[in-house]
Structures are given as C-alpha cells and as structure tokens.
Chains A and B, each alone.
Chain A
C-alpha cells in the first residue's frame, strides 16, 4: 500500500509531458483498481474474523467463573440459589460458585425433544413436498413453510404461552401430580413438553427447507433407474433417494440443532422460570417439569448483569452456547462439504 501512495505522490508532482500523462493516467487508474480491491478485501477479512472477535469478548469475561469452578461449572447444580447468593453478596466478598448443570441438561432435553418431533415430521413433509405433492398443493405448502420460518420467535413464545402452556396445565397435569412434585418444582404447564412443541415448530421449517433441497438434488437418473428395475415409488424413496440425500439431511438436522440450542426468547417464555433438573425417575412427569436453558438463563437473569460475578456466570453460559454453535456449524459445513465432493465425483 505504502509503495502505491508514494507512486501517486511522485506522479502528481511530475512535470506532465504528453507521453507521461497517458502513463500517469493509466497508473492512477491501476492504483484505484488495486485500492478498491484492498478495501473490499479488508471488509471481507473483517467479516470473517468477527467470529474471533465475538469469541474473545465473550470468553474473556467468562474466564473468572471458569477459573473458580473448572469443569464443575457444567457438572454441578444449584444455579438459582448460587445466583441469588452472588447477587446479594457484599462487594468485598463476591461469591464465584456457579453450577450450570440444570441449564446444560435443560438445553439438551429441550433440543433433543424438539428434534424428536421435528425430524420425523419435517422429513415426512420434505418427502411429501418433493415426491408426492400434487401440483395444486405445492405452492400453498411451500408458502406456509416459508411463513413459519419468517414468524419471529417472540410470537411463537407468545402463542406457546397462551395456548400450549394452559392446555398442558389443564389436561395433563393433575392435582395429585402437582402435590407430589411440590418440593421440587411447581407444575404450571411451563415445561419440557411445551418447550419441545414450540421449539419443534420453530426449527421445523429450516429442517424441511434443507432436507427437501437435499432430496431435490438427487439426480433424476437414480429414480428412473430404480423405477426401471421394477421398484415401487415408496421403496425407491426409502432405498435410493433417502440414502443418496442422507448427508444433506444430516447437515439440515445439525443446523436445526444449532437453532434449537440458541433459542432464547421463546424458551424463556414457555420453559418455566426455574433452573430445575428434571429426573427421569419421575416417569412421564419428566416432560411436565419446568426447565431453564442456557440461552433463556441469559434473558431471565439479565438483571444480574450489574454484579460482576453474575455477569461472568452469564458470559460463561454464552461461552458454552457459542462454542457448541461453532462446533455444530463446522460439523454441518464438513458434512455438506462431503456432499459437494461426493456429487462432483458422481459427475
């Protein structure tokens, strides 16, 4: 860069002769082209390293909590009490003890639960869309899927809170159940089940879009070959289309997982306000217990930000979210990269 600016300076002061003017105008133009390219490259590099910037700022503030708790941060429980203790602790005796196990498990339970609903339903919908859908239904169906993807999460949270949560509270939770659980958590309908339902509706459209793309990318010649072997349509889907589209479908599921893990607002509305650790030993009541996820903890506990211990704990939650989302993205790119390579070798 330095060289170039020296050059222009030199050119600008040079006495113009006819021959020189042509060259200098040309050089100036070359310089402008180069300058633009460097400028654009700078922006590009900035976009790409933004992720490291985010990591630096988020992890830096999480370090004290990780130092104080080590791996115990994700293996120990007691988040709610610890948070209150730290919040109320006098400034000269800060309390650095935090255990986010309930949040981690809450995130895992709700995410896995949502995938259990969204993947079968979404895959069915994608197959239907690509293979079976009559032409008159195709436009309405794709439009609705796109619509579902466009609705903001706070709306899903609102509908979940007004519809799903009361339905669960009135039909599934009995007084007996609530009495049994009274020492553990209040069963008011905000629960794993409500989170699963709301989350699955939110991640469904992404998964449908990505897996139907993968199915559509299966070369038509495979389908024709299977038909010419006397294999029925359903068996062709099962034995040829799905295996060929497998990697794209997996990549879609991974990206949907990332979305589910990071959803904060809707889950802070329907998952329940306590960092309860549900227990499988409670049987089906497990699904009716309230939880709190890593993302919704940041929203619900955000008033604690003004205390440095609490702030650091929330940044530690964000660190877990950030690292897992990066891992999932890299995994998805890796899987779909294999798809791309695979397709290239087919051709």
Chain B
C-alpha cells in the first residue's frame, strides 16, 4: 500500500518537473536559435522580397506593425471594455438580465480567434465598410477589400474585449468599500465617486487589464492573417510614414511580428527559419516584458492590501 503511494508521489513530482522542463526547453531553444539572427541591422531594416535568407532584410516594418496594431486595438477596446466593466461592477445588480449579459460576455471569451477573424472579414468586406479598407477594383459588385490595420485593430478589440472587461471589473470590485462610503458621506454623486475615487484606486488593476489585452493582440496570428493580409511591407501610399499618408497606411495592409514569423517559417513562403526565430524571440521578449510589468503591478497591489 505504501509502495503505491511512493509511485504516486513520483508521478506528481515528474509532472511538475516535466512542465517546467518543457517551458525551459522552448525558451532556451528560442533564445539559442533566435539570438544570432538578432542584430541592429535585423531590427532596423525592412523585409526584402528574397528567397535567400541572407538577403531578406530585417523586421523593422513588422515591429512597427505590431506596435501600431496593439496601440490601435487597445485604444478601440479600452473605452468599450471600461464602460462595460464600470457598469457591471457598480451599476448592475444581481438579476436575470445582468446574468444573461455576463453569460454573453463569457461566451465571447471562448470564441476562437479564427472565428473573430472571419467575422471581421465578413463585416468589413461589406461595401458600406469601405472607409476602413479599400474598394477592390475591377469587381462588378463593389466589395471592400476588408483587410487593413483599421479592420484588424477593430477585430482585435472585439477579441480582447471580454478579457479586458473581466480584469477591469475585478480591479474595480477589489477597491475597498470604505473608499466609496467615504466619498458618498462627503456628498459626492455616484459618477463623481467612480471617476474621482474608484477608478484612481483601481488604477493598477486597470493597467494590468490593458497590458493583458496588449499581450493578446501582439500574440495573435489568425486575425492578422485574415484581416491584415499578407504583404510584408506597408501597403499604402509610400513613403508610408509621411503624415499625409497616415490615413492611407491605416487603410492598407501590412505585417506584424506574428505574421512575419508565420511567413518566414517553413509553413509560409519566405522559408527563412533563422529570421523567424529572431522575430519570434523579439515577440516573446516583448510579451514577457509585459507579463513582468503585470506581475510587478500585482505584487504592488498585494503589498498595498497587506498594509
């Protein structure tokens, strides 16, 4: 009987250690494979259309694409998610209707990103939505192209919405009720209390939610693939970074680190795995930094609660 216990303990230890080893293995592999691809030149040149790995350039535009897309995406998601979270945490009571709303948001969290992607495509190829991308020329029934930074950003915003709502709502709920009571006791109205007392107190949690959203947007590939399109460089009027071309850039296709990794991998067309690992390492470092900030903020709030 006790011998069997010994086996069980061994199995539990193994599963814990295997999990750690897998993770360390992946990270180390990524670092080893990616580190020698990374150089200043790799980071600061545009990708070039070449089948030869040595001549295929760097990741400047994908890097900018990731930053641009995450910024746009979170800017779209934040007001929407914030409003929903405030309503759910402060206004909504406990009734059937609110439960139905919550279920709707929970279900949204389980929808695969590829479905969001195809949904984005379905919406933004409608001719009425042409302002977000471009009109396809030479087609009889005018159809919008449906692939651009704007389209991808809005779709991403819908994708991260439930996660950001959940973490902001949690942050608001964890504000001690005494703060609220003190504010009401001073005669402040509900909205004043929320905007001047509760939201500042929940600041760290809200930032955590935003960062989680950024991490999800930066890491997603399916939406990029369908809604941002496949060109390696910016698609609008060139040079894309001139202020008078910004609108055109946003309405055209581009690339991000994830789509660069996909393209450069043996699964895509570029077939330069060394560069794929380089870009992957940059992406993982970016996401790990975000996570580090989150856990730092988490520790900060935990300490504050202790005191």
Q: Which residues of A are in contact with B by a Cβ distance under 8 Å?
A: 29, 32-33, 36-37, 39-41, 43-54, 57-58, 60-61, 120-125, 127-129, 131-133, 137, 140-141, 144-148, 150-159, 161-163, 201, 204, 208, 232, 234-235, 255, 258-259, 261-265, 268-269, 295, 298-299, 302, 305, 314-315, 318, 321-322, 325-326, 328-330, 332-333
Contacts and interface: CB of A to CB of B under 8 A. Distances in A.
Nearest to A318: B118
A232 B5 CA distance: 9
B250 interface: no
Contacts of B119: 53-54, 57-58, 318
B219 A147 contact: no
Given A40-B83, A132-B12, A163-B29, A50 B189 contact: no
A154 B29 contact: no
A152 B113 CA distance: 12
B110 A44 contact: no
Given A54-B115, A150-B288, A151-B219, 17 more contacts: A48-B104, A51-B107, A51-B108, A121-B15, A128-B15, A131-B12, A132-B12, A141-B16, A148-B19, A157-B265, A159-B29, A161-B265, A299-B225, A321-B112, A321-B114, A325-B110, A325-B115
5 contacts: A46-B84, A120-B15, A125-B18, A137-B16, A157-B265
What's the dominant secondary structure at chain A's contact region?
helix
Most buried by A among B79, B108, B123: B108
Nearest to A326: B107
Contact of A329 (B110, B191, B218): B110
Nearest to A261: B112
B111 A325 contact: yes
Contact of A41 (B18, B87, B102, B106): B87
A215 B195 CA distance: 37
Contacts of A61: 122
Interface stretch (B42-50, B170-178, B275-283): B275-283
Contact of A318 (B11, B115, B280): B115
Contacts of B29: 159, 163
A147 B117 CA distance: 25
Given A157-B267, A329-B109, A150 B19 contact: no
Contacts of B101: 44-45, 47-48
B221 A153 contact: yes
Nearest to A42: B83
Nearest to B125: A305
B26 A159 contact: yes
B112 A329 contact: no
Interface of B: 5, 8-9, 11-16, 18-20, 22-24, 26-27, 29-30, 33, 79-81, 83-84, 86-88, 91-92, 100-119, 121-123, 158, 161-162, 165, 189-191, 215, 218-222, 225-226, 258, 261-262, 265-267, 273, 276-277, 280, 283-284, 287-288, 291, 295
Given A33-B189, A147-B27, A330 B103 contact: yes
B111 A262 contact: yes
A147 B295 CA distance: 12
Nearest to A305: B121
A32 B192 CA distance: 11
A264 B113 contact: yes
A342 B27 CA distance: 41
Contact of B19 (A44, A162, A208, A299): A208
B84 to A, nearest CB: 5
B224 to A, nearest CB: 9
A56 to B, nearest CB: 9
A330 B262 contact: no
A326 B276 contact: no
B122 A58 contact: yes
A268 B110 CA distance: 20
A121 B18 contact: yes
Contacts of B116: 54
B104 A51 contact: yes
Contact of B107 (A151, A201, A235, A329): A329
A265 B162 CA distance: 21
Contacts of A157: 262, 265, 267
Contacts of A328: 110
Contacts of B295: 146
A47 B165 contact: yes
Nearest to B191: A36
A40 B104 contact: no
Contacts of B12: 124, 127-128, 131-132
A133 to B, nearest CB: 7
A106 to B, nearest CB: 14
A265 B225 CA distance: 9
Given A141-B19, A150-B288, A161-B267, A263 B220 contact: no
Contacts of B79: 43
A56 B280 CA distance: 36
B154 to A, nearest CB: 12
B207 to A, nearest CB: 17
